[in-house]
Amino acid sequence: METKDLTQDGTVDLRGNPVLASKTGKWKACAFLVGYEAFERMAFYGIASNLVNYLTTQLHEDTVSSVRNVNNWSGCVWLTPIFGAYIADSFLGRFWTFTVSSLIYVMGMVFLTMAVSVKSLKPTCNNGICSKATPSQVAFFYISLYTIAVGSGGTKPNISTFGADQFDDFNPVEKQMKVSFFNWWMFSSFLGALFATLGLVYIQDNLGWGLGYGIPTVGLLFSLLIFYFGTPIYRHKVTKSRTLAKDFIQVPITAFRNRNLQLPATSGELYELELHTYSRNAAAAGGRRQVEHTPIFRFLDRAAIKDDTNSSSQKCTVTQVEGTKQVLGMIIIWLATLVPSTIWAQINTLFVKQGTTLNRTLSHGFQIPAASLGSFVTLSMLISVPIYDHYFVPFMRRKTGNTRGISLLQRLGIGFVIQIIAIAIAYAVEVRRMHVIQTNHIVHPKQVVPMSILWLLPQYILLGIADVFNAIGLLEFFYDQSPEHMQSLGTTFFTSGIGVGNFLNSFLVTVVDKITGENGGKSWIGNNLNESHLDYYYGFLLVISTVNLGVFVWVSSMYIYKKEAIEVKDGIETKGLDTSPLGLQV
């Protein structure tokens, strides 16, 4: 086996042996992965899309409590990947972390199906009216939900990065393939979400919750079998280090110790290893790649000062310093994504409750479940992804010269603008709903508002289009900009942002309800939405989203994309698809 036939990025097979580039990885390996992603998303959205209705109709929780519990569970689902990614990057690797976690996920789905199917584990219902659940029934239901959250922690950050690992960054052809990977990866995710919001929600409302949860459970088991069939052709990144946090502690401490030293005039005078040292390690031992110096966070550069007067002084390499800078930069961008994640949280909570008050009859007496409108988010995504990948990117590539068409942060900014338009429309539709309620003197909580549920379609569709820009863009941004040795952990910036956004929405709903409901006032988000003021709450979200967009533009203008220097046959190549010094400049 000649070296030139092997992958150039140091990937190996499951036994740790170098792998042939021609017989492993690429799209043929990813074909075994996308099935799991589709079924996992079907399971997640099959739960999340209609959970608020289950909690209010079956467990008799009030509106605020049900919204808070849905947000808290969703938040945990999106935050636990931090731990799963750390375990993968530091100890087990992505494949084995995914394997263990997927079994926990399936176990949680089995428990949840039992919780809504087994007579002794669910509330007793007669003529559609359910008695209050016992404490043990409630406990088993929530244990099942949070078991799924634990399993998701190890699967979510590792399956997508494991897919990205199937493409060799050192191979120009595969590097180009990888540009489209995250678009089509999310496309498979959207397919699963579409079936959940169209099919599973209807099954849950009309044929039973047990069947509605049982179908994705069986689907997950089937997709895992398909996943393991592809094992012989998978590529695996070598587990790099068990001390990922070491640099993030060492660099600031060393910079502080060297605070009295004079920074050199040029970055070339800072301490750095020879380039061939990184190249040799990257190809053979799974080591780091050299990262070029950037002028941001200059105070950290003191950690790489060569102190010739003190031979015992500790110093870090420029690459170590730049890794810390990368994480700090991503944290700042991450903070600016929390409010948009709060907007996303409305889809499975208040949008659904809003829909239950409207006329849901379409034709011949058929009633669309309120949670099924979430399918239009997915449909707009499914339509927009091919348009974005096949038309928008090539068109913008010719205009800008950027391989991606537009920079990663430009993509996020466009998505956030579309989100603001969506919440503005949601506000306007709610104002109209309140007008219809007042005109028809509607006061009872179960009285149907004579206004079609289809009025809500524009806000769902626009949020789907926005997600093609910001959800996929965020996943790609945090993978691409993470230090090379912690890309699983880096993608958890994406998942944790969604999780914190859910918790933030839970906090806002609770606080707004408490403040507006004080002294006998009418809460903006009360149990009776026909007497509440969701329009005020949506207006509040519109204001904070607009302010947040300004903050995002400001921090993006100062962001500098990472550049990795690698040795190639004829010299040195700089790896970095987004080279604009300003995030929002072409």
Q: What is the pLDDT of residues 343-354, one digit of tens each?
A: 888 887 788 888
pLDDT of 312 > 70? The answer is no
How far is the C-alpha of 174 from the C-alpha of 178, rounded, in Å? 6
Position 336 pLDDT exceeds 50: yes
pLDDT in tens, 39-88: 888 888 888 888 888 888 888 888 778 888 888 898 888 888 888 888 88
Instruction: Count the neighbouring beta carbons within 10 Å of the beta carbon of residue 13.
Output: 16
pLDDT, mean of residues 18-22: 84
Buried b (16+ CB within 10 A) or exposed e, 156-192: bbbbbbbbbbbbbbbbeebeebbbbbbbbbbbbbbbb
The listed range with the strongest mean pLDDT (12-26, 119-133, 211-225, 504-518) is: 211-225
Q: Does domain 1-241 have CATH number 1.20.1250.20?
A: yes
pLDDT given at position 272:
84
pLDDT for the residue 580: 46
Residue 286 has a pLDDT of 42
Instruction: State residue 295's pLDDT score.
Output: 86
- pLDDT above 70 as % of the chain: 89
Say whether 324-560 and 1-241 share the same fold.
Answer: yes
| C-alpha closest to that of 169 among 286, 6, 9, 3 | 9
pLDDT at 309: 66
Say how many residues make up the chain: 586
CATH 1.20.1250.20 assigned to domain 324-560? The reply is yes
User: Rounded to whole angstroms, how far apart are CA atoms 360 and 369?
Assistant: 7
Residue 313 — pLDDT band, cuts 50, 70, 90?
A: low
The pLDDT of residue 409 is 92
State how far Cα 494 lies from the chain centre.
4
As a whole number of angstroms, the distance between CA 409 and CA 559 comes to 9
Bigger pLDDT: 207 vs 246: 207
- pLDDT, tens digit (0-9, with 9 covering 90-100), for 370-420: 877 878 888 888 888 889 888 898 898 888 888 888 888 999 999 999 999
The helix (run of H) or strand (run of E) holding residue 110 is helix 93-117
Closest listed residue to residue 331, CA positions, set 443, 477, 228: 477
Domain limits of the chain?
Answer: 1-241, 250-316, 324-560
Reduced to 3 states (helix: H, G, I; strand: E, B; else coil), residue 264 is: coil
Q: Degrees (nearest 5) of the Cα angle 512, 517, 523? A: 70
3-state secondary structure of 359: strand
**Residue 111: predicted pLDDT:** 95
Which residue has tokens 């919001």? 197
- The Cα–Cα gap between 238 and 349 comes to 41
Q: What pLDDT, on the 0 to 100 scale, is given for residue 582?
A: 39
User: CB-side exposure of 339: number of CA atoms within 13 Å?
Assistant: 24
160 or 238, higher pLDDT: 160
The pLDDT tens digits of the residues spanning 497-549 come to 888 888 888 888 888 888 888 776 778 887 777 788 888 999 999 999 999 99
| Spatial contact of 85 and 239, defined as CB atoms under 8 Å apart | no
Confidence of residue 218 (pLDDT cuts 50, 70, 90): very high
Q: CA-CA distance, 36 to 191, in Å (whole number)?
A: 11
Q: What pLDDT was estimated at residue 100?
A: 93
pLDDT at 321 over 60: yes
Kindly tell me the burial class for residue 259, based on how many C-beta atoms sit within 10 Å of its own C-beta (0-12, 13-18, 19 or more): exposed
Tens digits of residue pLDDT in 277-296: 665 544 443 445 778 888 88
Q: What is the pLDDT of residues 101-158, one digit of tens each?
A: 999 999 999 999 999 888 888 877 776 666 777 888 889 999 999 999 999 989 988 8
Given this model, what pLDDT does residue 585 score? 36
Residue-wise pLDDT for 411-436, tens only, equals: 999 999 999 999 999 999 999 998 99
Reading the block at residue 70, the tokens are 């849905």
Confidence (pLDDT) at 46: 87
**Residue 295 CB-density burial (10 A; 0-12 exposed, 13-18 middle, 19+ buried):** exposed
**Count of CB atoms situated within 10 Å of the CB of 3:** 8
Residue 583 has pLDDT above 50, yes or no: no
Confidence of residue 561 (pLDDT cuts 50, 70, 90): confident
CB 288 within 8 A of CB 278: yes
